[in-house]
């Protein structure tokens, strides 16, 4: 870690120390380091992906939304193999196997992952072929197979192939002068078996046909050659049907699609990097050709050809996935998003503005009087964008500072920062170039901001800047006044319509001073600055959370009511898990709303009987993070950019900001209660690591938290 990142060592105050002492007095009768108490991180991630796939079978969900869930599963699995499986394979290859609290070595984890993934991917294609596609066909949306083409359609496909496809295709015959080509990660390719001798006397019998990435994978056929509805043909079907045209005079004995998944994680050594942006550009190119981790082939591909491909890529048979359909299902998103079928999608809704922001043009005046808390997507993200736009134009605004993690080079947020810089304001942007799979976009936005005159900082070497914060300084009546935005999500308007997140707009002097100090730490150099309200990783956040869990444990041990509610995307940090186990043993009632990975086992006798873990998958991606503590009748509530993972608490710059005042606290508490009473989209984690759906009992009213929030805040239902 950089030498400037020196941990704060000031002693805790007397009340905290007393709570810690009382919590320490709770001696568990079991070993909280027992590996049986922990779920393997990657296996838990796989369970989350399965929960997403399950949504494709939920008849209460509109058809095209079910298709989306199936495609999201496909995309999630791609990333799972590119990052998680690749990481485990790398450990095995380097003989450097890291074993976590669950005590499962990488080799065993890979074997379990392979077994589960094969079963679920086979299930995915069965759902597609037996449920989704037939139901789509009933609604007039068809992917027409080669065997179903009419004469007119065959003629049209042949003309399209010859005019639009064949000129761009480069078939590669395999022989000593044409070795097996280096194929791009996740690209569509075909292995072709040939018979005959070509013009040069070559007769290797094999060729590879890479599908040009510039071509669409799904082509809509003209209405005049179809019998109504929307009819599509796959590029792979076109290539299969006309493969012989690519090899004139040769006989095509077979043509089979395949796709290779590679390691897509970036490996930058902070010690060897002098220019992060330059190094990252090189790594982005390398990502396309990382080590192979998975091979997908058409399920009709002969065994000898599949084995040939495995040998070329250095993969084992367990890493082969035979699929009954397109090898890249994510390309079907264009159908799932077709606006021509509103009845097959979630009903639209309009995010609302809170009353305090309605009919006002002076956001500074409103925020100067009171904190404004927004819950996206139910409440609009536009006040955050408008706040920045106003600041860019306001002659009284002197400086704007902002962190950017996932934003987009051409977003409204970046437009406003560019305008502010061009208007002569001091604009500082802390851009996290290493936001996974957004690196290229972030390089572009960093360049754009620099060209406009903004100061662009890439954060701290070796530590990602994941905090979501904005600071505006404005001259008012001769004095400098600060305004801040703190959020649990990214500065991305598109995500703000799909993800649930909180935004706090505030002029609280103490909190704004803390935000100013954190920006100073990120852009300058110096020791850790003491903050009065803001908790920040990698310095005070984990320590404070453990102390607050310990305090709740002490309250329970003293016979007082004690309760903890956490809402996060992931829970993997062993120290936090052990602290929660200890709190459960003491009698603290603990509810954890964990959308994705959870390594804690709830419901274990004598350890976690007081802990309940639920995952909610629905129309919106549950992304907000909240930490609520009963605190002996004086509740403490923090909203945060951080999940409860080692990387977030130890190796990232994160924030957790307090929500103060009974009115705002009650708003968040009521929303959390809706999550805990949801009985239509919740799944409860069992001690064995499996998830069981929650269902409304006899006489109970069906409750869906997202539907309830839509109705309560927007006055609209979700169609679920």
> What are 257's two structure tokens?
């699609």
Contact between 219 and 153 (Cβ < 8 Å): no
Angle between helical axes of 41-54 and 63-79 (0-180°, round to 10): 160
Tokens 């359909």, located at residue: 325
CB atoms within 10 A of CB 118: 15
Residue listed under structure tokens 């993800």 = 499
**Dist CA 395 CA 427 (whole Å):** 14
Instruction: DSSP letter for 216, please.
Output: -
Going by C-alpha positions, the residue among 363, 374, 386, 353 that lies closest to residue 474 is 363
DSSP symbol at 482: E
Tokens for 350? 């309009």
Residues annotated in the binding site, as ranges? 76, 406, 436, 499, 595, 623
CA angle at residue 59 from 54 to 62, to 5 degrees?
Answer: 100
CB 521 within 8 A of CB 527: no
Q: Quote the DSSP letter at residue 381.
A: S
Binding residues for Mg(2+): 406, 436
DSSP string of 115-169?
A: HHHHHHHHHHHHHIIIIIHHHHHHTTEEE--GGG--HHHHHHHHHHIIIIIGGG-
Phi, psi of 649 (to 5 degrees): -85, -25
User: What is the Cα Rg of the chain in Å?
Assistant: 28
Instruction: Please state the residue numbers annotated as binding site for ATP.
Output: 76, 499, 595, 623
Show the tokens assigned to 201.
Answer: 């006397």
Task: List the catalytic residue out of 242, 466, 492, 536.
Answer: 466
Q: How far apart are the first and last CA of the chain?
A: 48
Query: Can you tell me whether residue 288 is helix, strand or coil?
Result: coil
Instruction: State the virtual CA torsion across 598, 601, 602, 606 in degrees, nearest 10.
Output: -150
Task: Answer yes or no: 178 catalytic.
Answer: no
Give the Cα separation of 153 and 142 in Å (integer).
13
How far is Cα 181 from Cα 179, in angstroms, rounded to an integer?
Answer: 6
Question: What is the C-alpha separation between 298 and 255, in angstroms, rounded?
Answer: 10
**Number of helices (H) and strands (E), helices first, in the chain?**
21, 27
Give the chain's length. 720
Give dist(CA 31, CA 462) in Å, integer. 34
Give the H or E element holding residue 309: helix 303-313
SS3 of residue 503 by DSSP: strand
Measured between alpha carbons, how far is 211 from 125 in angstroms, rounded to an integer?
22
Query: Which pairs count as long-range contacts for 480-484, CB under 8 Å and 24+ apart, including other chains?
Result: 480/398, 481/368, 481/507, 482/507, 482/509, 482/512, 482/513, 482/515, 482/516, 483/364, 483/367, 483/368, 483/387, 483/391, 483/507, 483/512, 484/508, 484/511, 484/512, 484/515
d(CA 615, CA 335): 28
**Alpha helices (H) along 177-251:** 235-241
Q: Looking at the annotation, which residues are catalytic?
A: 466
């Amino acid at each position: 870690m950089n030498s400037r990142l020196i941990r704060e060592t000031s002693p805790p105050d007397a009340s905290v120390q007393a709570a810690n002492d009382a919590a320490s007095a709770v001696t568990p009768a079991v070993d909280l380091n027992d590996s049986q108490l922990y779920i393997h991180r990657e296996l838990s991630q796989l369970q989350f992906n399965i929960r997403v796939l399950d949504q494709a079978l939920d008849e209460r969900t509109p058809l095209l939304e079910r298709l989306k869930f199936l495609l999201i599963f496909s995309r999630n699995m791609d990333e799972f193999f590119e990052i998680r499986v690749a990481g485990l394979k790398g450990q095995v290859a380097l003989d450097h196997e890291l074993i976590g609290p669950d005590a499962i070595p990488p080799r065993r984890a890979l074997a379990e992952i392979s077994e589960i993934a094969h079963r679920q991917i086979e299930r995915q294609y069965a759902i597609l072929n037996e449920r989704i596609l037939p139901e789509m066909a009933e609604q007039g949306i068809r992917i027409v197979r080669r065997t179903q083409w009419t004469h007119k359609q065959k003629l049209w496909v042949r003309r399209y192939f010859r005019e639009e496809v064949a000129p761009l295709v480069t078939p590669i015959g395999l022989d000593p002068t044409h070795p097996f080509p280096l194929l791009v990660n996740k690209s569509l390719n075909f292995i072709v078996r040939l018979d005959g001798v070509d013009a040069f006397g070559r007769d290797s019998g094999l060729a590879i046909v890479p599908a040009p990435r510039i071509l669409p994978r799904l082509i809509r056929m003209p209405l005049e050659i179809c019998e109504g509805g929307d009819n599509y043909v796959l590029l792979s079907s076109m290539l299969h049907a006309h493969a012989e045209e690519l090899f004139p005079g040769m006989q095509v004995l077979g043509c089979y699609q395949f796709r290779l998944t590679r390691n897509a994680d970036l490996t930058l050594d902070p010690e060897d990097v002098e220019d992060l942006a330059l190094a990252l550009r090189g790594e982005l190119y390398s990502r396309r050709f990382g080590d192979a981790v998975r091979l997908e082939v058409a399920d009709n591909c002969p065994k000898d050809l599949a084995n040939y491909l495995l040998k070329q890529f250095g993969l084992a048979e367990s890493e082969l996935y035979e699929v009954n359909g397109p090898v890249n299902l994510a390309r079907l998103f264009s159908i799932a998003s077709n606006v021509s079928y509103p009845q097959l999608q979630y009903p639209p809704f309009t995010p609302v503005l809170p009353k305090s922001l309605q009919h006002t043009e002076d956001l500074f005046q409103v925020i100067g009087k009171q904190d404004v808390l927004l819950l996206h997507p139910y409440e609009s993200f536009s006040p955050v964008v408008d706040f920045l736009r106003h600041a860019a134009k306001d002659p009284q605004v002197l400086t704007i500072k902002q962190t950017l993690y996932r934003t987009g080079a051409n977003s409204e947020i970046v437009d406003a920062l560019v305008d502010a810089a061009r208007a002569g304001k001091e604009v500082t942007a802390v851009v996290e170039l290493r936001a996974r799979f957004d690196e290229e976009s972030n390089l572009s936005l960093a360049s754009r901001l620099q060209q406009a005159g903004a100061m662009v900082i890439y954060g701290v070497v070796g530590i990602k800047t994941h905090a979501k914060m904005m600071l505006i300084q404005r001259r008012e009546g001769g004095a400098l006044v600060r305004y801040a935005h703190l959020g649990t999500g990214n500065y991305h308007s598109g995500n703000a319509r799909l993800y649930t997140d909180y935004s706090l707009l505030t002029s609280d002097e103490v909190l704004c001073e803390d935000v100013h100090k954190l920006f100073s730490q990120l852009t300058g150099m110096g020791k850790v600055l003491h903050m009065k309200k803001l908790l920040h990783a990698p310095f005070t956040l984990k320590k404070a959370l453990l102390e607050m869990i310990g305090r709740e444990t002490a309250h329970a041990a003293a016979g007082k009511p004690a309760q903890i509610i956490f809402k996060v995307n992931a829970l993997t940090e062993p120290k936090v898990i052990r602290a929660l186990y200890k709190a459960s043993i003491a009698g603290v009632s603990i509810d954890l709303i964990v959308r994705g990975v959870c390594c804690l086992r709830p419901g274990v006798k004598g350890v976690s009987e007081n802990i309940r873990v639920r995952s909610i998958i629905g129309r919106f991606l549950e992304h907000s993070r909240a930490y609520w503590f009963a605190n002996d009748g004086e509740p403490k509530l923090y909203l945060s950019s951080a999940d409860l993972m080692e990387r977030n608490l130890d190796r990232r710059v994160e924030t957790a900001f307090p929500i103060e005042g009974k009115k705002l606290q009650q708003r968040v508490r009521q929303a959390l209660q809706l999550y805990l009473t949801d009985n239509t989209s919740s799944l409860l984690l069992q001690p064995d690591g499996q998830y069981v759906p929650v269902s409304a009992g006899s006489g109970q009213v069906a409750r869906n938290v997202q539907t309830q929030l839509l109705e309560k805040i927007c006055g609209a239902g979700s169609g679920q």
